[in-house]
Chains A and B, each alone.
Chain A
Amino acid sequence: MKINWFKYSAPMSFYPLAGKLIPLFWIAAIMLILGGLYWGFFKTADILNDQKQYYRIIYVHVASAWMAMWLYAVMVFWAMLGLIFNTRLSYMLASATAVTGTVMTIIALATGAIWGKTSWGTYWDWDPKLTTFLILLFVYIGYIALQSAIDDVRRSDKASALLALVGLALVPIIYYAVNCPDPTQCASLHQESSLKRVESNILIGMLVTTLGFWMYSFATTLMRARIIVLERERSTTWVSNLPEISLAETSNSKIEARTETRS
């Protein structure tokens, strides 16, 4: 079976397709997130003793933190596709992904700070991970700021795509620098974060919630992309032929009546 990918790279065919997919993603998102949290809250109670109850924050924290990083990768993917094939839709998806990525980063930071308060007794600890997410937030905000500062759509698409690529190249270096401020001793850090050490029961809840967050991200990204498509293609005929744009008969005749009385 051959799928014509370029057909879907056109905003015109993307718009209705995305419209159909969004409700499905919403249903999946709500079910998976509720399911994951239900599992986490009710099926793992016996594993955690009272001192470890705060572990429940992890479901939302880890899911949002993963999404914050993954969405950056997704954004760079679209940006790169845009720069290589010069497809307008790729740029639109890149900028639609950025905002959801920012929201996820903020959630990760906020829940991380609360997690810190419960486990280390302080909201902010300049922990390498939290710091990296703070910088990721700066990078996301820089991307959005650059995009909104440029009026010309084409330039703003390309310039922000290039910035996303530069960020991709530098974020690992920044991560390394934050992780090992002393280059001679950094191997010892962050062994505890590996998944193996997490109880498998908790892991299930975490993975299901994360999957739900993916669905949420798809849904919001597509919603935003649809808005961007509408804004950019407003002067085309296919947009004005859309059912949601068509002027209802009643309002039309009202206008006619109004113009008549005026003249």
Chain B
Amino acid sequence: MTEFFSMGGFGIFIWSAMGIALALMILEPVSLIMKRRSVIKQIKRTKRLDARRKQN
């Protein structure tokens, strides 16, 4: 197992390359989900304000 992870001494490089790619490719969709939530929240807020304005 350790032999697999060390990859003939190149393990640190290989795993850090994979790690960088993985980190960025997780960060991107996560940030998109968060952005989507905040946009929806914002739209809802304005909609709620509009609804209240109509009531008064």
Chain A–chain B contact at Cβ < 8 A: yes
A residues touching B (Cβ–Cβ < 8 Å)?
A: 37, 49-51, 53-54, 56-57, 60-61, 64, 99-100, 103, 106-107, 110-111, 114-115, 117-118, 216, 219-220, 223-224, 226-227, 230-231, 234, 239-240, 244-245, 247, 251-252, 255-256, 259
Q: Is the CB of B40 within 8 A of A244?
A: yes
> Which chain B residue has the least Cβ–Cβ distance from A240?
B47
* Whole-angstrom distance between the Cβ of A1 and the nearest chain B Cβ: 33
Whether A219 touches B47, Cβ cut-off 8 Å, given contacts A53-B8, A107-B21, A115-B17, is: no
Q: With the chains together, A251 CA to B44 CA distance in Å?
A: 11
Whether A230 touches B46, Cβ cut-off 8 Å, given contacts A111-B17, A259-B55, is: no
Q: With the chains together, A64 CA to B55 CA distance in Å?
A: 53
* Whole-angstrom distance between the Cβ of A73 and the nearest chain B Cβ: 20
Q: With the chains together, A118 CA to B16 CA distance in Å?
A: 12
Interface residues on B, range: 20 to 34
Since A56-B14, A114-B20, A240-B47 are in contact, a sample of 8 more A-B pairs with Cβ atoms closer than 8 Å, ordered by chain A residue number, is A50-B8, A51-B8, A60-B17, A60-B21, A61-B17, A103-B24, A110-B17, A259-B52
- Name A234's contact: one of B8, B17, B46, B56 (CB within 8 Å): B46
Q: Is the CB of B46 within 8 A of A227?
A: no
Q: Which B1-52 residues have C-beta < 8 A from chain A?
A: 7-10, 13-14, 16-18, 20-21, 24-25, 28-29, 32-33, 35-36, 39-40, 42-44, 46-48, 51-52
